[in-house]
Every structure is written in structure tokens, then in C-alpha cells.
Amino acid sequence: MTPTTETMVGIGGAAESTDMVLNIGPQHPSTHGVLRLKLVLDGERITHAEPVIGYMHRGAEKLFEARDYRQIIMLANRHDWLSAFSNELGVVLAVERMLGMEVPERAVWLRTLLAELNRVLNHLMFLGSYPLELGGITPIFYAFREREELQHVMEEISGGRMHYMFNRVGGLKEDLPAGWTARARTAVADVRSRMDRFDDLVLGNEIFRGRTRGVGVLSPQAVHAYGVSGPIGRASGVDFDLRRDEPYLAYGELQDTLKVVTRQEGDCLARFECLLEQTHNALDLADACLDRLADLPPGPVNQRLPKVLKAPEGHTYAWTENPLGINGYYLVSKGEKTPYRLKLRSASYNNIQALTELLPGTLVADMVAILGSMFFVVGDIDK
């Protein structure tokens, strides 16, 4: 006799409690690029969330090992395409530390100025795009208007609109064009004069506040557990900023101007407020750098390097307060013209992990508000 198998199929009320798996992405308007979110839903409520990364992976860390110390700047420039100057900066600081190299004073102040202008450019993009994801189209036009003002002076000095390639080991590519500081000062003043539009249009909008207040609360314990940094970490009350706590470049002399912006709420609204207030402070820091540059005598902005640059055998770690958070660069050298190993710790990679803690228990409708408030760039994750 042939054995038979009986299967009982239940329908009706039991089916209503069945979890549903929903994929957001990898191509989705709210994911800032090629990111996939695997959500498990119970009705409209998220019970489990898993960020799936790697769709843009380009193997930059492996390519570092096959490029010399001049060429790796180009690779490091591109992972966070909104923070190109800051990305370059971390690499050259690591190589200079390995070489024990002193950078001319003018180059130090110029690097600080350009890093803060790059911070403003980065933040303006999110100040415009985040309201857009919640249905407010107007702020992004103002954001791009202000970005163009600053992009113009950055393009004039470097020749690039996004990938500046202006840092060099030992300083900067070249000195300033004639009259550039006056034009930069005008651009900073113009942008500052119009920043209140974001307070009025966005923070003053009751719909925006209703969609973000109390939504996606990230605890300080989760910030520490996942290594979250930057405006997202400070919005949860974690008062940490490398520019103040371990100063590099000229930040040690800018402590009177530097303001570390924090909030205690840890929600989407707090993260946006931190970003906006930090943009105001970055403009103040840029003005302070321009004032100091005006007082400095003419001088070099770089060091003369040998035709073939080799770092001595050893290892070092440099980290910077990038616009999106802490970037770390662990450089290992065997005394050759290429790094033996260059490990990149990017801000977005750590920050996005917190979604596994933030999204469970929230509604699908709030997912976009939470995701947008994480202020990440996918290239910074898939480096």
C-alpha cells in the first residue's frame, strides 16, 4: 500500500496574523541610492528590519593597495559624494602623520575653511531633500539655490563641482586665485542671510513637525552600541565632536566660534534641528577662517615632495569629524609607494545599522520619515 501524506490547510482568521515580508528598494525614491530594506510587517506595523547593503560596492579599500599615495586621494574622494573635500582630508592627514610632516600654516587654515564650506554644502542637500521626502517640495529649490552660491566658489578654487581633488599630501594643490577670499566671504554672507527660510518653511510647518516629533527615537545607549556619530548621535544627547574633543587642523584655535549642537529628544525632528543649527555654525566657522587668512602673510600652501613618495614602515590612525559623522583611516605601510592596507571607517556605514533598532515597532508610514532623518549617502556605506 502506497503511503499517503495529509496536509491541513487553514484559512480565515489565522491568516490575518501572518507576517508579510516587504522589500523597500534597492531602487526606491526614499533610500538615497541603491539600498534595500527588508521589512517584516504585522499589518501596518514593522516587526523586524534588515538593511541590505552592497549593491554599489566598488572595492575602494582593495584598490587603495594598488595605487600610490597621490592616486588614493581620488579613490577616497568619492565614497560620500556630498563630502568630497572632507574625504580627501582624512587620507592626507593619515599619510602626513605617518611621514611626520608639518603642513604650512596657510594650508591648515585653508583646509579648515574648505572643510566647513563642504559641511554646509552637504547639510544643505539634506535640509532640502528631507522635507521633499515628506511631501514638501519648496525647500529643495532654496537648498539648491544656496548650494550653487557656495559651489561656485568651490569650483573656482579647485576646478571641480563635486570631486574637488584639491588636497595633497603636504598641503593643497595650489594657492588661491586673486580676490577669491572676498568672493567666498560674499557667498557665505549671502547664504547666511537666507538660511531663515528653512526655519520658516520647514521647522515652522505643523505638518512637518507632526510627521517628525516623537518619531524614530534613538536612545543614547543605541548610539553608543552601534557607533552612531555626527548630527544623528548628537541629536540623541551624545555630546561628542572631534573638532572640539580632539582638535585637528585649526579647530583648536576656533573653540570660541565652534558650537557643538545637541538635542535630547533623539527623534526625527531633533536630528533635523541639529543639522540646521550645525549649518549656521559652519558658516560662522568659515567666516572666522576667512578673518584669520586675511591676517596671515603670503606663504606656501604645500610642501615639496619627492618624485616617488614612500611612507615609512608602520601604521597610524587618523579620524575626522566629517559632515555625516566620524570618518576613520587606518593606514598600514611596508615602506613602499602604495599602502599595504588602508581601512576606511565611514560614518554612514555605522549610522545605518541603527535602523534595525529604530524601525521595529513603528508604522510603515513613518519608515520614510525615519530613513530620511538618518542623513546617509549609500556610497559611504558601500565604499
* Cβ neighbours of residue 342 closer than 8 Å, sequence gap 6 or more: 61, 64, 65, 72, 91, 94, 329, 330, 331, 332
- Is the pLDDT assigned to residue 336 strictly greater than 90? yes
What pLDDT score was predicted for residue 266?
A: 92
Separation CA 93–CA 99 (nearest Å): 10
- Is the pLDDT assigned to residue 367 strictly greater than 50? yes
What pLDDT score was predicted for residue 17?
A: 55
- Is the pLDDT assigned to residue 252 strictly greater than 50? yes
Mean pLDDT for the chain overall? 90
pLDDT tens-digit map of 67-120:
999 899 988 888 888 999 999 999 999 999 999 999 999 999 999 999 999 999
The percent of residues in the chain predicted with pLDDT above 70, rounded, is 94
28 — pLDDT class (breaks 50, 70, 90): low
What pLDDT score was predicted for residue 6?
A: 54
Separation CA 47–CA 161 (nearest Å): 42
What pLDDT score was predicted for residue 31?
A: 64
54 — pLDDT class (breaks 50, 70, 90): confident
Selection from 48, 39, 134 nearest residue 366 by Cα: 134
Choose the weakest-confidence range: 19-28, 88-97, 262-271, 355-364: 19-28
160 — pLDDT class (breaks 50, 70, 90): confident
Structural Rg of the chain based on CA atoms: 23
Exposure string for 51-75, b = 16+ CB within 10 A, e = fewer: bebeebeeebbeebeebebeebbeb
What pLDDT score was predicted for residue 15?
A: 47
- Is the pLDDT assigned to residue 12 strictly greater than 80? no
333 beta partners: 314
At 329 the three-state DSSP class reads strand
pLDDT tens-digit map of 281-309:
999 999 999 999 999 998 899 999 988 99
What nine digits make up the cell of 202? 520647514
Separation CA 268–CA 372 (nearest Å): 9
What pLDDT score was predicted for residue 16?
A: 53
- Is the pLDDT assigned to residue 212 strictly greater than 60? yes
The percent of residues in the chain predicted with pLDDT above 90, rounded, is 73
- Is the pLDDT assigned to residue 5 strictly greater than 90? no
Q: Which amino acid is at 152?
A: H
23 — pLDDT class (breaks 50, 70, 90): confident
43 — pLDDT class (breaks 50, 70, 90): confident
Please give the residue that has the higher pLDDT: either 30 or 288: 288
What pLDDT score was predicted for residue 19?
A: 78
- Mean pLDDT in residue range 255-275: 95
